[in-house]
A and B are shown apart, each in its own frame.
Chain A
Amino acid sequence: QVQLVQSGPEVKKPGASVKVSCKASGYTFTDFYIHWVRQAPGQGLEWMGWINPNSGGTNFAQRFQGRVTVTRDTSISTAYMELSRLTSDDTAVYYCARFHGDYGLGWFDPWGQGTLVTVSS
């Protein structure tokens, strides 16, 4: 079945970077964009950006531009999201999700199980 499996929880200090992986299975990895969404404690869902696994092209929400990098390794059907210059406000569960839609607008199915990133000194 179609599945996205993410890497495990991370604890980072302020100012550090974190890299989260998202391994796809059950479908052709390059056929669907992968998006990243996060949820801070007690908050709603926040869209971060996407990668086109076929071309490697990316696009991000304005508030993350310059601080987030998303890459992929098509040989192992895996996408990576790296967030730099972490602050306590980046403490959140980070999700990857397979995208359905056009021009960056659409719905997400399925989602990864989430990766908790905790930023603490």
Chain B
Amino acid sequence: ETVMTQSPATLSVSPGERATLSCRASQSVSSNLAWYQLKPGQAPRLLIYGASTRATGIPARFSGSGSGTEFTLTISSLQSEDFAVYYCQQYNNWPQTFGQGTKVEIK
């Protein structure tokens, strides 16, 4: 199966700063990649699909890029509500697989 590796495991960022999260696939997943935000006790939230398309209602400060095996989620100016764990998911190869997550914490 396709292994998704996210880095870093934890990212410490001050509010208002930019956060850059990476996701690497063990084999090409084309642009079939999604990003999700998870907060404790809440339903996971779809942010990005197709590597770069923002889901409905997602603020423009979230952007996704990449194709093949290297992907990036950028949060341009962190707001208090953005401190959470972020997961990437590939859906190009069976079975679809998730990364281990990047925790974005307050610096």
C-alpha spacing A107/B41, complex, angstroms: 21
C-alpha spacing A97/B34, complex, angstroms: 14
Q: Are B98 and A47 in contact (CB under 8 A)?
A: yes
Count of residues in B whose CB is under 8 Å from the partner chain:
24
C-alpha spacing A95/B43, complex, angstroms: 8
Q: Which residues of B72-107 are within 8 A (CB) of A?
A: 87, 89, 91-101
Instruction: State which size class the interface on A falls in.
Output: 20 to 34
Stretch at the interface among A10-18, A83-91, A111-119: A111-119
Instruction: For A43, list chain B residues within 8 Å (CB).
Output: 100
Q: Which residues of A55-100 are within 8 A (CB) of B?
A: 61, 95, 97, 100
* A interface residue numbers (CB < 8 A to B): 4, 37, 43-47, 61, 95, 97, 100-101, 104-114
**Chain B nearest Cβ from A64, distance in angstroms:** 11
Instruction: For B92, list chain A residues within 8 Å (CB).
Output: 105
Q: Are B87 and A107 in contact (CB under 8 A)?
A: no
C-alpha spacing A4/B45, complex, angstroms: 12
Instruction: For A112, list chain B residues within 8 Å (CB).
Output: 43
**Chain A nearest Cβ from B91, distance in angstroms:** 4
> In this complex, what residue of B is CB-closest to A60?
B95
Instruction: For A95, list chain B residues within 8 Å (CB).
Output: 43-44
Q: Are B44 and A111 in contact (CB under 8 A)?
A: yes
C-alpha spacing A44/B36, complex, angstroms: 12
Q: Are A105 and B94 in contact (CB under 8 A)?
A: yes
Instruction: For A114, list chain B residues within 8 Å (CB).
Output: 41, 43
Q: Are A46 and B98 in contact (CB under 8 A)?
A: yes
Instruction: Given A61-B95, A101-B91, A104-B94, decide whether A110 and B100 contact each other with a Cβ distance below 8 A.
Output: no
